[in-house]
Amino acid sequence: MVMKEIPKSHPRYFSLETREQLAKAVKKGITHETGLIAHGRGEAFDYLIGEKTIPFADDAERVAAALLILAKNPVISVNGNVAALSPRACVTLAESVPAKLEVNLFHRTQKRVRLIVKELKKNGAKQVYGENVDTSIPGLLHDRGLCSNEGIYVADVVLVPLEDGDRCQAFRNMGKKVIAIDLNPISRTARMAHITIVDNVVRALPAIERWVKGLKHFDQADLQNMISSFDNIQMLRDVLGFLSKRLNSLL
């Protein structure tokens, strides 16, 4: 079936376009079919926050940028939803830090990994880890634990857009710092990460990149101060406060 073009004047244009983008990526084999369900959950939370970057997310994006700049070996983990929505933004953020890119999938097949690596390379990535996994994250039994020794395994900071709580916990157990992008402020991932960005990945990745470029020449001590003074759980409480206030004011 051919989907009619969505008119730009449609009030839900961006949201409908994004759905189309994901549906196409499912057909190509990049995104897993359950990625559509995960997206639906994210979309609902995005609707509730007003479909824009709220100040608490902007602040988390700033602190995430500081952490990435100070990292010795930062890695951006890419799954099927992120590859569908923001392949170019992953590549340009990775270049600006600089950070490595690794494909890591919950529903892992070699074919999907290969397609996503190809998509990232089409968008300018020179090197993408994840095709040849040679080790695994201790304590994670499912395929999401498989990773590259030169990539995620040795990373000190991992940026995980659309993550599951298990892997977040496993990263923490390995002593890594975790930055999560998750529109659901009460997910296990959101509560487990060191820095949670409650924003749509489509807005969050370019926002982190803008902060990276803006903070790059700051003193290390100033960047370290930003990180030390950030309280993730308090920030999530603030997001919930923002949400309930916003919802109360809508009708």
Angle between helices 55-70 and 220-228 (to 10 degrees): 130
CB of 47 to ligand PTJ, least distance (A): 11
Q: Which residues pair with 138 in a beta bridge?
A: none
Residues near ligand PTJ, by CB under 6 A: 32, 34-35, 38-39, 41-42, 45, 79-81, 85, 105-107, 162, 164, 181-184, 187, 200-201
Cα-based distances in Å from 243 to 44, 151, 183, 198, 247: 12, 37, 12, 11, 6
For ligand PTJ, which is the closer residue by CB, 70 or 146? 146
CB of 233 to ligand PTJ, least distance (A): 17
Give the type of residue at 247. L
For ligand PTJ, which is the closer residue by CB, 96 or 102? 102
CB of 111 to ligand PTJ, least distance (A): 12
For ligand PTJ, which is the closer residue by CB, 74 or 161? 161
How far is Cα 197 from Cα 54, in angstroms, rounded to an integer? 10
For ligand PTJ, which is the closer residue by CB, 75 or 85? 85
Q: Which residue is nearest to ligand PTJ (CB)?
A: 42
CB of 220 to ligand PTJ, least distance (A): 30
How far is Cα 128 from Cα 100, in angstroms, rounded to an integer? 7
Cα-based distances in Å from 154 to 74, 109, 117, 127, 129: 9, 23, 20, 16, 12
How far is Cα 49 from Cα 198, in angstroms, rounded to an integer? 9
For ligand PTJ, which is the closer residue by CB, 42 or 74? 42
